[in-house]
């Protein structure tokens, strides 16, 4: 099986090594942006998930991506602004926007366009490998950043979580198994995503989130990611205690994305 995660991380770390920006200066500039804009200008990612769960039984984070390493092209010509509006009108609580170019066909411009077109919070979905990535998420306008436990050691996880908080960003800490969940909890993560797709093989285990849900402590906001196809999947995950689902391929491939989001929430349109 291809080692997708290793290949993607190697490319991102090479890009980071070639970035000649001084991290201390970049962090200071991002902090200044926080002071100038104020934290209140950020859209509340966590709050939107909690509200979505309370109002419709589950919050949906709808994903914008053009392609994936395992499935190839999904919709290479999609317009992020149009898709963002469709998702929001269908009842999405938040957006996830892929900004990785080499593997997913995304860009920071996609995030900017999507966020400008809607009123809901936006996650920068990318492979964060260092503090410059977190700073970039803030400066491009994201409300949340993805931190993949498998991509970093415990020291980096803790420091990047702290930096995200300092910059007014929610940190969605992604895990794939029990050992990674333990690491996330030890680092103090309160927003945890369980990815049912193994990022090393890209195979999906749709029972993974149900198993992992049993281990989630009370008070943790849990997000099930990948392999979610329909309202029945969403209902099972809601019963397992999840606050939100993150759905990409199912929605991107849909001919009617607004209705597809609505349908995940059990609506009949």
**How is the chain split into domains, by residue range?**
4-264
Indicate which residue of 68, 88, 125, 180 is catalytic: 125
Give the three-class secondary structure for 55. Answer: helix
Angle, CA of 207, 212 and 218, to the nearest 5°: 140
pLDDT in tens, 81-93: 999 999 999 999 9
174 in active site: yes
- Place 40 in a pLDDT band, splitting at 50, 70 and 90: low
Token pair for residue 120?
Answer: 């809901």
Catalytic annotation, pick one of 65, 88, 96, 180? 65
Element (H, E) at 146: strand 144-148
Residues with Cβ within 8 Å of 22's Cβ and at least 6 positions away in sequence, in order, are: none
Q: One of 63, 86, 88, 249 is an active-site residue; which one?
A: 63
C-alpha pair distances (Å), 141 with each of 15, 27, 65, 112, 213: 21, 15, 18, 7, 31
Q: What is the DSSP string of 168-196?
A: T-EEEEEESSHHHHHHHHHTT-SEEEEES
Read off the pLDDT band of 1 (50, 70, 90). very low
Indicate the class that CATH gives domain 4-264.
Answer: alpha beta
At 130-146, the pLDDT tens digits run 999 999 999 999 999 99
Q: How far apart are CA 2 and CA 233, in angstroms?
A: 28
* pLDDT class of 39 with cuts at 50, 70, 90: low
Q: Which two tokens stand for residue 45?
A: 């990612």
Place of tokens 């149009």: 82
Decide if 55 is catalytic.
no
Question: Residue 85 catalytic?
Answer: no
Overall average pLDDT of the 236-243 stretch: 95
Q: How high is the mean pLDDT of the chain?
A: 92
Among the listed residues 62, 68, 93, 195, the single catalytic one is: 195
Task: Reply yes or no on whether 65 is catalytic.
Answer: yes
């Amino acid at each position: 099986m291809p080692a997708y995660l290793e290949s993607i991380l190697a490319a991102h770390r090479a890009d980071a090594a070639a970035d000649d920006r001084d991290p201390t200066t970049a962090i200071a500039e991002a902090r200044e942006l926080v002071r100038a804009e104020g934290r209140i200008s950020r859209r509340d990612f966590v709050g939107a998930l909690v509200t979505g769960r309370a109002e419709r039984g589950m919050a949906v984070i709808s994903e914008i991506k053009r392609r994936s390493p395992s499935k190839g092209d999904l919709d290479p010509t999609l317009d992020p602004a149009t898709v963002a509006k469709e998702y929001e009108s269908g009842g999405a609580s938040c957006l996830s926007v892929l900004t990785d170019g080499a593997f997913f066909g995304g860009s920071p411009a996609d995030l900017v366009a999507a966020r400008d077109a809607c009123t809901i919070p936006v996650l920068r979905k990318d492979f964060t490998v260092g503090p410059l990535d977190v700073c970039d998420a803030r400066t491009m306008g994201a409300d949340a950043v993805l931190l993949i436990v498998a991509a970093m050691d415990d020291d980096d996880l803790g420091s990047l979580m702290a930096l995200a908080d300092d910059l007014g960003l929610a940190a969605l800490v992604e895990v794939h198994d029990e050992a990674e969940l333990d690491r996330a909890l030890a680092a103090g993560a309160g927003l945890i995503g369980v990815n049912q797709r193994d990022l090393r093989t890209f195979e999906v285990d749709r029972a993974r989130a149900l198993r992992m849900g049993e281990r989630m402590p009370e008070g943790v906001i849990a997000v099930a990611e990948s392999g979610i196809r329909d309202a029945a999947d969403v209902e099972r995950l809601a019963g397992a205690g999840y606050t939100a689902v993150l759905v990409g391929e199912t929605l991107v491939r849909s001919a009617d994305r607004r209705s597809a989001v609505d349908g995940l929430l059990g609506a009949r349109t």
